[in-house]
Amino acid sequence: MKQFDIPSFYRSDFIGPIKNFRRKEDPRKKDFAPTIVDFGGIEIVLARHFGFCYGVENAIEIAYKALEENPDKRIFMLSQMIHNPVVNQDLQDRGMGFILDTEGNQLTSWDEVTSEDLVIIPAFGTTLEIEQSLAEKGIETESYNTTCPFVEKVWKMAGKLGKDDYTIIIHGKFKHEETRATFSHSTAESPSVVIKDIDEARIIGNIILGKRPLTDFELHFKGRYSSHFDPSKHLSKLGVINQTTMLASETHEISEYFQSVMIEAHGEGNIKEHFADTRDTLCYATNDNQQSTYELLKLDADLALVVGGYNSSNTSHLADLCESRFKTYFVNGAKELESANAIHHFDYHNKEHISTQGYLPMKDKLRVVVTSGASCPDSVVEAVIDRLLSFYPNIKSKQVALQGAGITE
């Protein structure tokens, strides 16, 4: 796989050797078992795969390259580069501006952006409408377009489905930047609707089977379907694509459900005429991180720390998985571990920051699961681990602990 040139301060002298060792030992990525590093009074259980993915490293390389190659130009990010506060803040500190926030709200007026400026499209991609607006301003974006190739793969699948006259079901979070971009590209190809989960899939399925009235479509999906979408016509041929960071298990469940609905409605012999077997359109990193988290769930541990940006969809899904097994704390950095007694963390379900007292059990040997989202630098994860280790006296050094775990360069 391509090696990217990203700033060294995003890398980790502790995590890097672990990842390199596991990569050499398991080049085909068949082993998703975690790495356990024993520091004496505390064990750190690290997921097999976590942290920067291909698309994120590609985006970071391009963004810093743009800054280096254009010292005399104003440079804007269309929106957040990735969903990580450390990366976005560093780019801002280096003079990069932001046109939109993560919800699509305007931060810099379009009137202020001219053809003399550089505009970088983020890893999530952008809508066709914004692409056209930038083109009309004479702003060239191809040189520094950081759209993830796995997101573009989803768009190509939408094009294939549209060519074969399938209506497109998008499994995603409608307000998420990637889903907004995918919806724009998808609606240019075929009638499209965004659903968030299996419950919403069942609403559409029951409409198809005549168990719910057609008016329920407008009631439940207003603002989330393409113009001129007619549920009386456009629900006879379906294909499913997704936001690349959704839970694979949920997308599979949704796809299998729609397949069963179309068999019930049209017969198994005609299924290929009514349902496209697209598999899921998740990226490899999302799949690897989720599979690695499922392996973590097979172990016993006292708690889990999930590290990443609070608006990161893939990180929130990792937190969801960990919560099914462990007491889990979703943090964006080391500062959230206020002390050995208090932790500041994010309640993703209620979208609020909360503090918890007594989060570290009082025991002779503590085991803590650690993982992170695809947009989180390894250096941030190491800082969280360092902060945790600082609460325990007389522990082994990281070098000695790595040697004890059999990790060699």
Q: Which residues form the catalytic set? A: 178
Task: Please give the Cα distance from 196 to 254 (Å, whole number).
Answer: 10
Task: Scan for tokens 């929106």, then name that residue.
Answer: 79
Residue 195 CB coordination number (10 Å): 24
In angstroms, rounded to a whole number, what is the distance separating the alpha carbons of residues 23 and 235? 45
The continuous run of DSSP H or E covering 256 comes out as helix 248-266
Answer for the pair 332, 103: CB distance below 8 angstroms, yes or no: no
Q: How far is CA 186 from the centre of its chain?
A: 20
DSSP 214-255: THHHHHHHTTSB-TT--TTTTTSSEEEEE-TTS-HHHHHHHH
Q: Region of 171 please: left (phi>0), alpha (psi -120 to 50) or beta.
A: beta
The answer to whether 82 and 176 have CB atoms below 8 angstroms apart is no
Q: Is 294 left (phi over 0), alpha (psi -120 to 50) or beta?
A: alpha
> Hey, what are 192's tokens?
């499209």
